[in-house]
């Protein structure tokens, strides 16, 4: 039982860190798209509309992020209902965009910051805060289909809860016997 729990915890940790690494790579590219476009807009066509420039940059980065996360980071967790998944993704990103744009607007309007580089930096801090919110929201709300089809992770959810279709290990005269329906060593 302890060995099975340990193996499953390692499997979950491995999966989690692989998803974090992929999410980080997608996020890094989206960060460059968002900030590159925002910086260009703040110092060019939208010179007096810093919060709007942040909104436009973040919106374009969001579209890239959905495609990359759907087809790479969380490809095994994609929902069958693509429209629902996209709408949830947009909702979560709307919250994230609100956080990053809010940091820029707060710096400009509440604290009276006028330096474009400081306003840009406030938006970057907002992006960092929003990134943490986004990862957990994507993982648990948007791309949340179980990995039961993938044998390596097919029973990870059992760490937290037992499903009615599984049976606990059988005991015969004080000796644990492996339940054939559960993966891995159970003795």
Judge whether residue 102 has pLDDT over 60. Answer: yes
Q: How far is CA 54 from CA 24, 66, 121, in A?
A: 20, 18, 11
In this prediction, residue 137 has a pLDDT band, given cuts at 50, 70 and 90, of confident
What's the pLDDT tens digit per position in 23-74? 889 989 998 998 899 999 999 999 888 889 988 998 899 889 889 988 888 7
pLDDT surpassing 50 at residue 86: yes
Q: How far is CA 116 from the centre of its chain?
A: 30
17 vs 20: CA distance, rounded Å: 5
- Which residues, in sequence order, are CB contacts of 40 under 8 Å at separation 6+? none
pLDDT at 92 over 70: yes
Residue 1 is predicted with a pLDDT of 60
Report percent pLDDT > 70 for the chain: 69
Residues 69/138, Cβ–Cβ less than 8 Å: yes
Mean pLDDT on 102-119 = 93
Q: pTM above 0.95?
A: no
Q: Which two tokens stand for residue 51?
A: 């919060």
Q: Residue 17: pLDDT band by 50, 70, 90 thresholds?
A: confident
Is a pLDDT exceeding 60 seen at residue 119? yes
Count of C-beta atoms within a 10 Å radius of residue 114: 10
Return mean pLDDT, the chain.
Answer: 78
């Amino acid at each position: 039982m302890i060995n099975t729990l340990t193996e499953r915890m390692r499997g979950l940790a491995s999966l989690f860190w692989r998803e974090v690494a992929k999410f980080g790579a997608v996020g890094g590219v989206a960060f460059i798209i968002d900030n590159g476009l925002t910086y260009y807009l703040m110092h060019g066509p939208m010179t007096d509309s810093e919060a709007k420039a942040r909104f436009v940059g973040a919106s374009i980065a969001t579209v890239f992020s959905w495609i990359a996360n759907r087809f790479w980071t969380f490809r095994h967790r994609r929902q069958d209902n693509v429209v629902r998944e996209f709408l949830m993704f947009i909702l979560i990103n709307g919250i994230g965009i609100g956080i990053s744009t809010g940091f820029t607007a707060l710096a400009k309007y509440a604290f009276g910051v006028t330096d474009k580089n400081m306003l840009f930096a406030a938006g970057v801090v907002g992006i960092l805060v929003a990134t943490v919110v986004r990862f957990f929201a994507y993982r648990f709300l948007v791309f949340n289909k179980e990995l039961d089809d993938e044998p390596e992770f097919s029973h990870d959810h059992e760490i937290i809860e037992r499903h009615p279709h599984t049976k606990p290990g059988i005991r015969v005269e004080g000796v644990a016997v492996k339940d054939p329906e559960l993966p891995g060593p159970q003795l």
